[in-house]
Amino acid sequence: MNDYIISPMWFYFLDVLGELEITLWIIALIFGITLLVLICFQLVEISDAWKESDVKAAKARIKKLVKLSSIPVICLVVAILIPSKDTMYEMMIAKYITHENLSISVEAVKSAVDYIVEAFKAVK
């Protein structure tokens, strides 16, 4: 049975993560712009509430804005922490490259070269 050194599902997973990163940037951008517009409108409402001495309403609006601002912040943090596709490939390959695997490869190459040299000698 042929076992894969690196499962093909990893390549799919890495591609999906790359797309997820792009999606998170877009979500953060949309929410960020929407949040800025909302903040502008809410600041007017908050200042009116402070003028009317309605401190509870002003604090409630501020809490609402803080909760809403967590969505783009979380999206940005996750998007920043997802490594690029190239970095993920390098990490995956680095996991499978060990001294033992390299020494086995060197021995296989040496025996293949010896076989080729013997084959050339036999032809002459």
Which residues, other chains included, contact 30 with Cβ-Cβ below 8 Å and sequence gap of 6+?
none
> What are 68-103's pLDDT values in tens digits?
888 888 888 888 888 887 888 778 777 777 777 667
Contact 85, 97 (CB under 8 A): no
Confidence of residue 3 (pLDDT cuts 50, 70, 90): low
Nearest to 30 by CA among 63, 64, 79: 79
